Each structure stands twice: as structure tokens, then as C-alpha cells.
Structure 1
Amino acid sequence: MRNTWLQILLSAASLALAVLLVVLLPQILQALTGAEVSWAQIGSGFARLSPAMIGLMALVWAASLWAYTFVLTNSLPGLSHLQALTLNAAGSAVSNLLPFGGAAGVALTFAMTRGWGFPTRAVVVSTLVSGIWNTLFRFILPAVGIVALLLAGKVPDPTVANAAWVGAVSILVLVAVVAAALYWERAARLLGRALDALVRLAPRRVRPAEGRISGAIHRLRADTADIVHRRWAGLSGGMTAFLVFQCLIMAACLVATGAYPGPAETVAVFALSRVLTTALVTPSGAGIMEGGVATLLVAFGEPAAEAAVAALLFGFWTYTIEIPVGGLALGAWSLLRRRPARQQPVDRTPSERRSRS
């Protein structure tokens, strides 16, 4: 009971902090950039939005949700796109309301998929694979943002430009190494041994047991190898389409509010926004993301009021709207689960097929 009340208090405090950061956005912008903006100006910016532009944003947002269903259907064979849409919406609603909401989202995923007849092993592998793909692409995004600015010549200082190239290439190399370790067993062994050798340099009191990292990498690869080998293209295509649509939402928000700084800067702002959503202080980085996006837009020379409106509008399409939509999806699932459902065809892993033969 104490743990339950603690979780409730932490959730309430986290949500309150997110709301406070949004309310104080004008003051945060002034403190970070020196630009003055008021809520009256922000309200006027929202009032100028045209119904046609709002409708376009809604269509692109819906397309981004549909694109992500390909990640889920490829990570869990047998899952339909409608089920994946329901699963993603409900999980996002839970994650967006709770600090460390990912754990609650995973628990909900298990409950929903088990109700549809999927075995636990398949759901575990799906959770691992989709989580890995999300993490890899979150690593790639900052590199893409840096490269976009460099190719557009938006980093005039040669020293900064060289450091940016080194950083971008380093990130991409790291992602390539991890991807190779997931796909090839030999690469996984080499990476595990290299990390074990690196860990041996750490002080003994904080050093993990010998071979623990290589063993963990081997087990992770064994769990995900079949899905990764057969469905990596679908997983990558789904994640790419999802992020492209979300970047288009960002571009639409910037154009609609008059804060569009250019294509390269838009990619960089979008990359920053996705990185800031990993902040654990508030659910999905709410409040932190909006402040960071508005600050970067001002740094790119956009007016503070327009930058604030664009950041809040993008936060609405990528965070706020997911809560009521996810609530509706969760309610529909709760009602429909009480009816007898037709068993879903489940694509079993090779080990499961051998055990049944």
C-alpha cells in the first residue's frame, strides 16, 4: 500500500511539474534567450491557425500512428494492424501519464496481447525488438540533425563543424556496431568480448562478473535473432516512416505559426525534440521538450512568441492528444475483451515449432 501511494504521489508530482514547466514557458524562454513573450501573444498565435492547416496536421498525425503499426506487426507476427494501433495508443496514454511510464506500458502490452492469444515468449521478444529499434533510431536522430545542419552550412565555425562531423560519425558507427551484433552472431561475440575487456579496467567494486556482458549480449541476440533476421526491413521501414511523418508534423507546426527556420534547422529541432522526450523527470519529457524546442528555434533566429506556439502545438500532436485517444482505445479493448474472440494466428519462433513437432 505504501508503494502504491508513493507511485501515486510521484505520478502527481511529475504531472504537476510538466504543467508548471508549460505554464512558465515564457519565463523559461526569457531566462534562456532574453526574448520576451507573453501568454497573450501565444494565445493570439493559436487563434491564427487555419482549419485547413489543423486538418492537415491531423491527417499526418494519423499517418504516423499507422506507420508505427508496421513496427509492432513485424515484431509480433500474427498481430493485425488494428490491434497494433490499439496497442500503441493505449500504451502511449499510460506512458504519457506516468513517470517511468514505460514499465506500465509494457505491463499493459502483456495484458492486451495475452488476451488476444499470443504466447508470453513471443510478446517478450516483440517488446525487446521494438524497444531496440526505438532506441537505435533515437541514437540515429541526433546524428541526422547534425549532418543536416552541416550539409546546409548552418555551422559556420570550422572547429565546431569538425567536432560535429566527428560526433555524428561516431554515433552512426555505434549504431552500426550494435545492429551488426544483433544480426550476426560472430559480431555479437566480438562486441561482448570487447566490452568485457573494457569493463575490466573499471574498479573492482563496481565491476560486473567476468563474462556477464558478453553473456547478456548473447542471450539478447538469441532471443531476437529470428525476428531481426526475417523482419529487419519491415521494422526499419516502419520506424523510418513513423519518424518522417512526425518530422512533417513538426514542419507543419513551424509553417503554420510562422516559425519555420528552413529544412535543415527543422530536422535539427525535430531531432532535439525526440531526444528530450527521454527525460524521466516528467512523463515523456512533457514541458522539457517544449522548452527545448522553443529555445532552439529562438537560437535559429525565430521570434519567441511564434517559437513558443510551434513548440506547444507540436507537443499537442505528439503527447497531449495521445492521452484521450489512448483512453478511448483502452476503453474499447476493455469492452471487447469480454466477448469471445476468434483466436489469432500466431507465427511461432523456430524453437517453439520444433518443440511442437
Structure 2
Amino acid sequence: MKNKWLQITLSVLSLGLAVLLVIYLPQIVRTLTDKDVSWAQIGAVFGALGAGEIALMTAVWLLSLLAYTFVLTGSMPGLTHLQALTLNAAGSAVSNLLPFGGAVGVALSFALTKGWGFANRPIVVMTLVSGIWNTLFRFILPAIGIIGLLMAGEAPNATIAAAGWTGAISILALCVIVAAALYWDRVADVLGRALGGLTRLLRIKADVSGAFHKLRADTAEVVRKRWPRLSLGMVFFLGFQWAIMAVCMQATGAWPGLAQSIAVFALSRVLTSALITPSGAGIMESGVVLLLTSAFGVPLAPATATALLFGFWTYTIEIPFGGLALGAWALLRRRNSRSAEAKSPSAISKAP
């Protein structure tokens, strides 16, 4: 990905694919479900939305952005919530435009935070810690989705239910082990030896154990002191994102039930990891429609409208919002630079 023209080509192709997936969503839904839905039917659902429902979606979306600032401020002491909001908005805009936007997002974070006077090491630690917490919760979400389905009685039989419980508990146990290893030295040593033994058994040449210990050394101080803030920030961030989906479901008439809505939300967040399009755009919407209609019996038009609305609030709107945040940052930086240049040394009063 070091070739600039290759990056541009892949980005254009990926964005084009995302747009096509959304434009041809009714045809994709027909292929997946053998049922017809038209843009006219979807538009009729959108037309029935009230101003109060749109205002509520906007408010919950803003609350989700505010909640995530606690993850970033927890990862980097000294970072303000306004700066964290700018970082999140700018990074999301880049990730939503590029299929492999993570590296560009990190570079952008360095540029913003260096401009605010932070040194390199705190920036690296923030990137690592926030990335670890996002990854842990991305693993936890499928387990929560499985538990939601099991609690709703959606398992076809006892064997599948038992397998579901086993899988969900195993995922949660793995996340607990990793979190404990990041916090406690003894658990880290045990996990490090286990990773070393596994790599030798699988004949993997990479030093996975050494990489884990280096990662832990870089992040241990922040993790030990600020894990409650980081965890609560992620819980509220994901909670508000689920609330956005719940409001979309209620507004479009696609509400399948509490446990079912949690399962749909968990699936939607997992599908955003599909790197074929930026943030899984188009793929996420198709998966949401398929689960709502096939598993929970929601009519096609409300289900499709819900998926598109949720995609708007968690993907599309972040692009212009991030652009505005970057524009404001650049404007303020230029104004401050001009003010500093205009202030001549003779105008500075000397201390007595």
C-alpha cells in the first residue's frame, strides 16, 4: 500500500463499490430473500418520518460522539473533550472514505495532536490503547448478539443453543483474559508463555509473545490507571449507537424486540470490519436487512429503511462532519499562526 496510485485506485474502486451496493440494495435484497422491495416503498417509509423522530436521532448521534471522547481523553491525559471530538470526527471521515483508512487516520491523528503540542510517545500510547479497547469490544459484541438471540428463544434446537452459549462464553472469557493480562503482571507472563508455546507448536516464525509484552509495556500505565474511564466510554458509545438503531427501528416500524435489536446491532458492527468497502458500507446494510427479514419476520420496506437510516447516522454523516471539524481546526491554526507572526518582539512587554 506504499504506492500512491495504487491507494488512489483501490480507494476509488472501493467507494464506487459501496455506492453501487447501496444503489442496488433492493436487487441485492431480492437475491438474498426472494422478495421484492422498491425504492418507492422505501421512500414512503422515509416520508412518514416526523421531525421529532429525526431530532431524536440527531440528539442520540451527538451523545454517541460525546461518549467516545471519554475513550480518547482516557487514552491521552491532557487531551480535552473538544480535541477528542475533532480527532474522532476527522479519523472517522478518513476511514469512511478509504478502504484501508486506518494508517491515514493514524497519520492524521499525529498531525492534529502534534499541532496541539503533544509529544510522540503520548500519541502512540493513545493510538494503541484506544485501538485495544475498540478491538476488545468488537470481540465482545458478537457474544452479546448471540446471547441476545438465545434469550429471545431464536435457537432452532437445544444443540444449537448449547453451542451458542459455549461460543459466547468462550469469547467473553478470552476478552477477560486479555484485559487481565494488560492489567496484571502475572497474567501477562502466563499469557506470554502460552502465546510463545502456541507459536512454536504452529511453527510460526513471528515473535508473538515478544510483541505482546512490548505492547503491554507501552500501554500498562494508562491501562492500569484509566481502564474504568475507557470501558465506560466504550459502553456508553456502543449503547448510544444501539439507541440510534432502536430509534430508527421504531420510526420505520421495524422494531423486532429488545433482544433481537441487540443481535441486529451486534451484526451491523461486525460487518463494518469488511474491508472490501470503507467501513463495510453497503455490506452492513445488506446484512441488517437479511437478519431483520429472514430471522425476525420484519417486512422488507421497513427493514431496508432502517438499515439505510442507521448507515446514514453511523457512516454517511460522519464524512461531512469530519470535514467541518478538520476545516475548523485548520482555520483556527492559521489564525493563531497569523496572530503569533503579527506580534513583534518589540510589542511584547518585558517583565520587571
TM-score (norm 1): 0.92
User: Partner letter of residue 128 of structure 1?
Assistant: L
Tell me which residue corresponds to 2:152. 152
Q: Deviations over 1:1-27 (max 9, x none)?
A: x92222111111000000111111111
Q: Deviations over 1:295-334 (max 9, x none)?
A: 1000210001111000000000000000001000001111
- TM-superposed CA distance for 1:32, in Å, is 1.2
Does residue 19 of the first structure (1) align with residue 19 of the second (2)? yes
Does residue 89 of the first structure (1) align with residue 93 of the second (2)? no
- Give aligned pairs, total: 337
Q: Deviations over 1:94-150 (max 9, x none)?
A: 110001111111110000000000010000000000000000001001111111221
- TM-superposed CA distance for 1:156, in Å, is 4.1
Distance 1:129 1:279 in 2: 22
SS of structure 1 residue aligned to 2:334: coil
User: Partner letter of residue 265 of structure 2?
Assistant: F
Structure 1 runs (4+) deviating above 3 angstroms are 339-342
Tell me which residue corresponds to 2:208. 213
Distance 2:209 2:93 in 1: 36
In structure 1, stretches of 5+ residues that fail to align are 343-357
In structure 2, stretches of 5+ residues that fail to align are 340-352
Tell me which residue corresponds to 1:350. none
Distance 2:214 2:123 in 1: 16
User: Partner letter of residue 54 of structure 2?
Assistant: I
Tell me which residue corresponds to 2:248. 253
Distance 1:12 1:41 in 2: 30
User: Partner letter of residue 16 of structure 2?
Assistant: A
Tell me which residue corresponds to 2:217. 222
CA RMSD, Structure 1 to Structure 2 (Å): 1.5
Kindly indicate whether the alpha-carbon contact (under 8 Å) linking 1:278 and 1:285 is maintained by their aligned counterparts in 2. yes
Tell me which residue corresponds to 2:307. 311
Tell me which residue corresponds to 2:189. 189
Distance 1:259 1:331 in 2: 37
Distance 2:110 2:205 in 1: 30
- TM-superposed CA distance for 1:197, in Å, is 0.9
Distance 1:281 1:153 in 2: 33
The match for 1:325 among 321, 324, 327 is 321
- TM-superposed CA distance for 1:198, in Å, is 1.3
Percent sequence identity is 67
Distance 2:191 2:209 in 1: 7
Tell me which residue corresponds to 1:293. 288
User: Partner letter of residue 216 of structure 1?
Assistant: A
Q: Deviations over 1:241-273 (max 9, x none)?
A: 000000000000111111110000000000000
Distance 1:75 1:328 in 2: 24
Does residue 202 of the first structure (1) align with residue 177 of the second (2)? no
User: Partner letter of residue 268 of structure 2?
Assistant: S
Distance 2:111 2:185 in 1: 32
Distance 2:150 2:309 in 1: 27
Distance 2:217 2:70 in 1: 23
1:1-357 → structure 2 map (5 Å cutoff) = 3-203=3-203, 207-208=204-205, 212-299=207-294, 300-340=296-336
User: Partner letter of residue 106 of structure 2?
Assistant: V
SS of structure 1 residue aligned to 2:37: coil
